[in-house]
Amino acid sequence: MARLETRKSEDYYVACLTVIPEEFAAFREVYDKRHSRPLGIDPRDPNQYEFGEIAGHNVVLCSATAADLLRSFEGIKYALLVGIGGGVPSRACDVRLGDIVVGTPGYLSSGITHHDQGKQLSDRFMHLNFPVPPPRAIQAAVSQMRVRELDKSSKIPNIISSVVGKLPSFNRPDNRSDHLFQADYEHAGEGSDCDECDKKRLVQRSARDNLAPQIHYGVIASGGLLVRSAAKRDSLRDLYNACCIDMEAAGIMGTLPSLVIRGISDYADSHKNDHWQKYAAVAAAAFAKELLQCLPSLLAGSTSCSDGTSDESTVTTQPISHTLENLLEREARTIKAYNWRESIVDLSKILGLKWDVGSRPQLANALQVNKGPNGSATQNNALRRALMKELRVENGSIVIPGHLQALRN
């Protein structure tokens, strides 16, 4: 066997994060070239890694926490979260098993919604943790992917064939095992498959004319709890427009701006089983490989890939102040407090702070602002400027300093 090349750990700038062994095994097969373990990995790092090249990028594949990864690989600029997720079918999104969902920033979302972090107010759930959107160079590569899909030049089916040629047990299950039951019909019987479930309760869907995965770009609802309920699934669909549910993304995205790519392995309901997991993992890995073909290489001396059109400027990450603005703007739209750039009332509402005029002196005191009469425009402006200066972004969330905690609404 030929000796594998060795690189330094800092040469790896793309990380691919997986959770279950099937995801790791599927992604390992999409490397163009493998490397041996690089020098310079923290010896205490307990994680499982693979190393190699895809489309001229040095890519580390890991089954790891982001914190461990970043300790051993300081050069990581892009992270792809590649694996399986639960589909959320809706009128807008006819997602089927084996399809691919890509967490894509939209009007109100970074592409990932952290659905179980925040606080319950009397009339709504307020999100306090906003994962950051994927890096701009990755977003540009996603745009390229959409073009490839439109002009039918995508190579995803070929990549999938090549992987399942090497891993036959990862082949696509029969369409007859893609069961989407009506939301009010619970799984029957002891077994994990749906042999005993009433097929008259299946949702009727039109047949597709080919077996290639369809790609859906939209919101992925991410949380710490396994969703195994059609009612919960459909509430996430209605609340966030989600087309996929996963358990890992939001936690990792807080640490590392990432793109989340999910192969659909179930419908997050009581019928959920692992029959489609391996194929779904291959579908996600195939998308990741093609995406990397659309991402300009950062290696010194290398030319950007033939499909990449982004110039160097798209590679830079967003400055923190921009991220704070984005986070504020996103929450402003969610709670319809659009005037936060001019109004202390709207800014306070966004941050979950007391916003009534009666609390203004307490806020002025906490911010050490002594300008204008209480409730005046002068005071409003001074408070707003002072409050903005106190805010910072940490792990993709707005952090409000401790001395303002007493002003929480």
The site for Zn ion (CB under 5 A) is made up of: 187, 194, 197, 271
Q: Are 183 and 231 in contact (CB under 8 A)?
A: yes
Largest distance between two CA atoms of the chain: 80
Among residues 143 and 175, whose Cβ is nearest to Zn ion? 175
Shortest distance in whole angstroms from residue 195 CB to Zn ion:
8
Shortest distance in whole angstroms from residue 395 CB to Zn ion:
38
Task: Find the Cα–Cα–Cα–Cα dihedral 322, 326, 327, 332, rounded to 10°.
Answer: 140
Look at phi and psi of residue 396 and say left if phi exceeds 0, alpha if psi is from -120 to 50, else beta: left
Find tokens 């600029």 and name the residue: 77
CA 239 to chain centre: 17
Among residues 197 and 230, whose Cβ is nearest to Zn ion? 197
Among residues 198 and 312, whose Cβ is nearest to Zn ion? 198
User: What Å distances lie between residue 372 and 34, 100, 155, 341, CA to CA?
Assistant: 66, 56, 64, 19
Among residues 74 and 198, whose Cβ is nearest to Zn ion? 198
Among residues 197 and 366, whose Cβ is nearest to Zn ion? 197
Count the Cβ atoms, other than its own, within 10 Å of residue 242: 29
Task: Find the Cα–Cα–Cα–Cα dihedral 311, 316, 319, 324, rounded to 10°.
Answer: 80
Q: Which helix (H) or strand (E) holds 259?
A: strand 258-266
Among residues 270 and 326, whose Cβ is nearest to Zn ion? 270
Among residues 191 and 375, whose Cβ is nearest to Zn ion? 191
Among residues 269 and 331, whose Cβ is nearest to Zn ion? 269
Shortest distance in whole angstroms from residue 265 CB to Zn ion:
15
CA dist., res. 113 & res. 260, Å (int): 11
Among residues 177 and 302, whose Cβ is nearest to Zn ion? 177
Among residues 187 and 237, whose Cβ is nearest to Zn ion? 187
Shortest distance in whole angstroms from residue 202 CB to Zn ion:
10
Q: Would you call 33 helix, strand, or coil by DSSP? A: strand
Rg, C-alpha atoms of the chain:
23
CA dist., res. 104 & res. 102, Å (int): 6
Count the Cβ atoms, other than its own, within 10 Å of residue 92: 11
Shortest distance in whole angstroms from residue 250 CB to Zn ion:
28
Shortest distance in whole angstroms from residue 271 CB to Zn ion:
3
Shortest distance in whole angstroms from residue 233 CB to Zn ion:
14
Q: How is 131-174 classified by DSSP, letter by letter?
A: PPPPPHHHHHHHHHHHHHHHTT---HHHHHHHHHHH-GGGSPPP
At 233, the amino acid letter reads R
Shortest distance in whole angstroms from residue 407 CB to Zn ion:
50
User: Which residues are CB-contacts of 7 (< 8 A; sequence separation ≥ 6)?
Assistant: 35, 38, 51, 58
Shortest distance in whole angstroms from residue 197 CB to Zn ion:
4
User: Which residues are CB-contacts of 355 (< 8 A; sequence separation ≥ 6)?
Assistant: 344, 345, 346, 348, 349, 409
Shortest distance in whole angstroms from residue 228 CB to Zn ion:
11
